[in-house]
């Protein structure tokens, strides 16, 4: 579709909540790799507000939005994403999807299957992977090998108030919300997680012990109800050294362009590491953790 880009990739926005207002919409509209054609949301008033913010059209019908673009960026509640992503894929649109893919593994599988069946590229908003510091972390982890273990944490006060303290996040908790980020970072450093054992309260503090295919073991701590500055940190240890990823060190002068470039590349057929298959695997781990917490 876009093997050689001669014009900006046209993207339609689905959803008009805080993330597309604060991040996805402005980043994709800024270009030059991408341009936004318009906004559709089940909440028409919010769609109109976001469209006005970006200076683009507002659509009353999602199929009309599909007709206006070559890719769609979806930012809706996990339970709502599968239906919209499947429809977009069947319309031949490249996808920028939110994490988690869905509210459950069945929904995540439906998205992955639809993307593969339609032959469309799909990129998932595992946002740390667009940070240059992520590449440095992976390189340092490779130098530290063989790796024996590590630890990771993701803390914030997001559930205590602010734009993300609502709806599914307060109902399902930290594991579904930030779990994809933390588990993805641990796997980037130590390899695929094959088993996880967890305890705690998803609306409070969750601790987990992860077993990796490499033989390494890691610990993970998650909490979105702590009165602290947001912190994402992963450190892995090996016989030749250690590697640290600090999510507070994101280079926001580079991150937006890396996201846009990644979306253009998957629209052209390149499989990015933040793929729909990776997100499905993370969803399976999340379901395993949530089942143990119940």
> What's the pLDDT tens digit per position in 206-264?
999 999 999 999 999 999 999 999 999 999 999 999 999 999 998 888 999 999 999 99
pLDDT digits (tens, 9 = 90+) for 7-54: 899 999 999 999 999 999 999 999 999 999 999 999 999 999 999 999
pLDDT reading at 6 higher than 80 = no
Helix, strand, or coil (residue 264): helix
Taking alpha carbons only, the member of 168, 42, 40, 156 closest to residue 102 is 168
Taking alpha carbons only, the member of 74, 281, 73, 27 closest to residue 179 is 281
CATH fold, domain 132-249, is: Dihydrodipicolinate Reductase; domain 2 (3.30.360)
Check residue 191 and report its DSSP letter. Answer: -
Decide: 95 and 72 in contact? Cβ < 8 Å: yes
* pLDDT at 68 (0 to 100): 98
Pick the CATH number of 9-126+254-275 from 1.10.1040.50, 3.30.43.10, 3.90.1150.10, 3.40.50.720: 3.40.50.720
* pLDDT at 2 (0 to 100): 37
CA distance 125 to 254: 16
Beta-sheet pairing, 231-238 with 9-14: unpaired
Residues facing 149 on adjacent strands? 217, 237
Give start-end residues of each CATH 3.40.50.720 domain in the chain: 9-126+254-275
Give start-end residues of each CATH 3.30.360.10 domain in the chain: 132-249
């Amino acid at each position: 579709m876009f093997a050689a880009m001669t014009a900006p990739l046209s993207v339609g926005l689905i959803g008009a909540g805080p993330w597309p207002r604060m991040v996805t919409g402005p980043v994709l509209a800024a270009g030059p790799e991408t341009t936004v054609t318009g906004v559709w949301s089940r909440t028409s008033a919010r769609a109109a507000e976001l469209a006005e913010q970006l200076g683009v059209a507002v659509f009353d019908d999602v199929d009309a939005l599909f007709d206006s673009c070559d890719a769609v960026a979806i930012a809706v509640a996990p339970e709502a994403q599968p239906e919209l992503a499947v429809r977009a894929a069947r319309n031949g649109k490249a996808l920028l999807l939110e994490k988690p893919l869905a509210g459950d593994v069945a929904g995540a599988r439906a998205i992955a299957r639809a993307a593969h069946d339609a032959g469309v590229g799909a990129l998932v908003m595992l946002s740390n992977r667009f940070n240059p510091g992520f590449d440095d972390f992976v390189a340092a982890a490779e130098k530290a090998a063989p790796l024996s273990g590590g630890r990771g944490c993701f803390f914030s006060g997001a559930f205590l108030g602010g734009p993300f303290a609502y709806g599914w996040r307060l109902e399902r908790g930290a594991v579904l919300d930030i779990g994809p980020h933390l588990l993805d970072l641990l796997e980037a450093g130590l390899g695929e997680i094959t088993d996880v054992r967890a305890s705690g309260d998803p609306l409070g503090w969750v601790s987990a012990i992860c077993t990796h295919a490499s033989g390494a073991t890691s610990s993970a701590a998650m909490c979105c109800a702590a009165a602290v500055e947001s912190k994402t940190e992963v450190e892995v240890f090996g016989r030749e050294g250690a590697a640290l990823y600090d999510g507070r060190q994101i280079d926001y002068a580079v991150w937006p362009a890396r996201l846009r470039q990644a979306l253009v590349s998957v629209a052209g057929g390149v499989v990015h590491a933040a793929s729909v298959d990776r997100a499905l695997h993370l969803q399976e781990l999340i379901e395993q953790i949530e089942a143990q917490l119940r």
